[in-house]
Structure 1
Amino acid sequence: PSWPEFIIGTILFVLVFGFLAKIGLPRIMKTLEERHDQIEGGINRADEAQAEAQAVLQQYRAQLDDARHEAARMREEAREQGAAIIAEMRERAEAEARRITDAAQSQIEADRQQALTSLRGEVGTLATELASRIVGESLTDVARQTRMVDRFLDELDSADGGAAVGARGAGEAAGQATTPTGAGQ
Structure 2
Amino acid sequence: MNPLVQLAAEEPQSPLIPPIPELIVGLIAFAIVFFFLAKKLLPNINKVLEERHAAIEGGIEKAEAAQTEAQSVLEQYKAQLAEARHEAARLRQEALEQGTALKEELRAEGQRQREEIIAAGHTQIEADRKAASQALRQDVGKLATDLAGKLVGESLEDSARQSRTIDRFLDELEEKAEAAR
TM-score, normalization by structure 2: 0.85
Structure having the higher Rg: 2
Q: Which residue of 2 aligns with 1:90?
A: 107
1:113-166 deviation per Cα after TM superposition (whole angstroms, max 9, x unaligned): 00000000011111111111211211111111111111111122223556x69x
Partner amino acid, structure 2, of 1:110: A
Which residue does 2:160 correspond to in 1? 143
* AA aligned opposite 2:117: I
* 1:21 paired to 2:57: no
What's the RMSD between the two structures over aligned residues? 1.6
- 1:169 matched residue in structure 2: none
Q: Distance in 2 between matches of 1:116 and 1:160?
A: 14
Structure 2: unaligned runs, 5 residues or longer: 1-17
Query: 1:139 aligns to what SS in structure 2?
Result: coil
Bigger RCO of structures 1 and 2 (CA < 8 A, at least 6 apart): 1
Counting matched residue pairs gives: 164
* Whole-angstrom CA distance in 2 between matches of 1:140 and 1:155: 21
Structure 1 residue 11 corresponds to structure 2 residue 28: yes
Q: Which runs of 4 or more aligned residues in structure 1 lie more than 3 Å from their structure 2 counterparts after TM superposition?
A: none
Quote the offset at 1:95 in angstroms.
Answer: 1.1
Give unmatched runs, 5+ long, in structure 1.
Answer: 166-185
Deviation at 1:23, TM superposition (A): 2.5
- When structure 1 is superposed on structure 2, of 90-99 and 33-42 the one drifting more is 90-99
Shift of 1:24: 1.8
In 1, Cα distance between the equivalents of 2:177 and 2:132? 21
After TM superposition, the score normalised by the length of structure 1 is 0.83
The CA distance in 2 between the partners of 1:161 and 1:30, in whole Å, is 129
Aligned residue type for 1:109: E
Hey, what's the Cα distance between the residues in 1 that align with 2:44 and 2:165? Answer: 145
Confirm whether residue 40 of structure 1 aligns to residue 67 of structure 2. Answer: no
* 3-state secondary structure, aligned to 2:47: helix
Partner SS, residue 138 of structure 1: coil
Amino acid at match of 1:99: E
Aligned equivalents of 1:161, 1:153: Cα separation in 2: 12
Whole-Å separation in 2 of the counterparts to 1:75 and 1:47 = 41
Amino acid at match of 2:138: G
Percent of aligned positions that are identical: 56
Could you tell me which residue of structure 2 aligns to residue 128 of structure 1? 145
Alpha-carbon distance in structure 1 between the residues aligned to 2:128 and 2:178: 23
Aligned counterpart, 2:87 = 70
Residue 140 of structure 1 aligns to a residue whose secondary structure is coil
Q: Distance in 1 between matches of 2:29 and 2:118?
A: 127
Deviation at 1:112, TM superposition (A): 0.4
